Amino acid sequence: MNPSKCAFGVTFGKFLGFIIRQRGIKIDKTKIDVVLRMPEPQNVHELKSLQGKLAYLRRFISNLTHRCQPFSRLIKKDVSFQWDEACDKAFKSIQSYLMKPPVFVAPVPGRLLILYLAVQERFVEILLAQNNNDRKDNTLYYLSRMMMPNELKYLPIEKLCLALMFSIQKLKHYFQSHSIHLVSKANLLKYVMAKPVLSDRLARWYLQLQQFEITYVLKKSINGQVLADFLADHPMPGEWELSDDLSDEDVLVIEFTPPRKMYFDGASHKEGTENGVVLVTSKEEVLPCSFILTQNCSNNIEESQALILRLEKLLT
């Protein structure tokens, strides 16, 4: 044990670039100052350096993916580096946000967590929070990412499901140790678990959700400025309809009904030939039918005639 690297009886300390206090966790000011003092990037190398520093602080920055959107085109191949007004506005927005960084708290064991989901045209955003003793929401984590090209084709409610799956992937340790209250614009659990036909994607989502204790709740009021700011930063497009009904979702549904049963027989005697048929429907209804053949015939022919008659009855 190195005494110069040990501290005992202290009320706070630095750990992995963060300040740990009794009241919560915040970013080390030296890490923030590096971003605040950075000049505008002049080339791709400097831009990637900025993105690397922001990636280290991403859990503390709400809506980070959307804020960094103007930078994404500058790092593509065969694109000339031109720092335009949109990039400058995004850069200043991030610096302004870091001037008043949020203070996060550690989750209280045994107390449920609240997961807020927000989706925009190309991004998914997540806020993980927990109620404190004053019934206000304390922020635990921010998550965000850009959608892949194939994910942009999802229905709005499927994009919300994608946000939920992303949060499970990144925050699995929270989901395993806490009950989760899910807050979103639509009931995603009902959408995934109540579908008569599950596509490959929905089936995978269904299996993942089975592992955790997640309950959908309707958010009727906003408790605290944290959630208010989060919702204000993530307005949902007005033209989106969050319907959980998919067109033609029942096309491939196979409905099994009890089979119908048919009994038939015949008898031949000196006065003629008689045939009888009994049909038992799927509802256990008994439909008897009998007839007389005017021509003499063998027992095999009688049974064949009875079968033909019954098939004609079924067709009608």
Domain ranges of the chain: 11-98, 113-233, 261-315
Phi, psi (deg, nearest 5) at residue 306: -65, -40
Contact 63, 233 (CB under 8 A): yes
Measured CA to CA, the distance from residue 213 to residue 149 in angstroms comes to 31
Mean predicted confidence (pLDDT) in 101-115: 83
Q: What's the chain's average pLDDT?
A: 75
| pLDDT attached to residue 269 | 59
Q: In this structure, are residues 156 and 174 in contact, taking their beta carbons and an 8 Å threshold?
A: no
Q: Identify which has the larger pLDDT, 309 or 6.
A: 6
Domains 11-98 and 113-233 share a fold: no
Average pLDDT estimate for 265-275: 62
Residue 41 in 3-state DSSP?
A: coil
> Has residue 253 got a pLDDT over 60?
no
**pLDDT score of 251:** 41
Tell me which amino acid residue 105 is: V
How far is Cα 70 from Cα 85, in angstroms, rounded to an integer?
9
Strand partners, 104: 25
Please check the confidence at residue 185 and state whether its pLDDT lies above 70.
Answer: yes
Supply the CATH classification number for the domain 11-98: 3.30.70
pLDDT at residue 308 in the model: 66
| Overall pTM surpassing 0.75 (yes/no) | no
Lowest mean pLDDT among 142-151, 174-183, 230-239: 230-239
Among the residue ranges 80-94, 168-182, 183-197, 256-270, the one predicted with the least confidence is 256-270
**pLDDT tens readout for residues 13-66:** 777 778 887 777 888 888 888 888 888 888 888 888 888 888 888 888 887 888
**Taking 60 as the threshold, does the pLDDT of residue 130 lie above it?**
yes
Residue type at 178 in one-letter notation: H
Helical ranges in the chain per DSSP H: 29-36, 44-56, 64-67, 69-72, 85-98, 156-170, 172-177, 188-193, 200-209, 225-233, 299-315
Cβ burial, residue 270 (10 Å; 0-12/13-18/19+): exposed
Work out the burial of residue 213: count CB atoms within 10 Å of its CB; fewer than 13 is exposed, 13-18 middle, 19 or more buried: exposed
* 93 pLDDT above the threshold of 50: yes
CA 64 to chain centre: 20
**Position 138, amino acid:** N
**Angle 21-27-29 (CA atoms, 0-180°, nearest 5)?**
105
Domain 113-233 class in CATH: alpha beta
pLDDT band of residue 208 (cuts 50, 70, 90) is confident
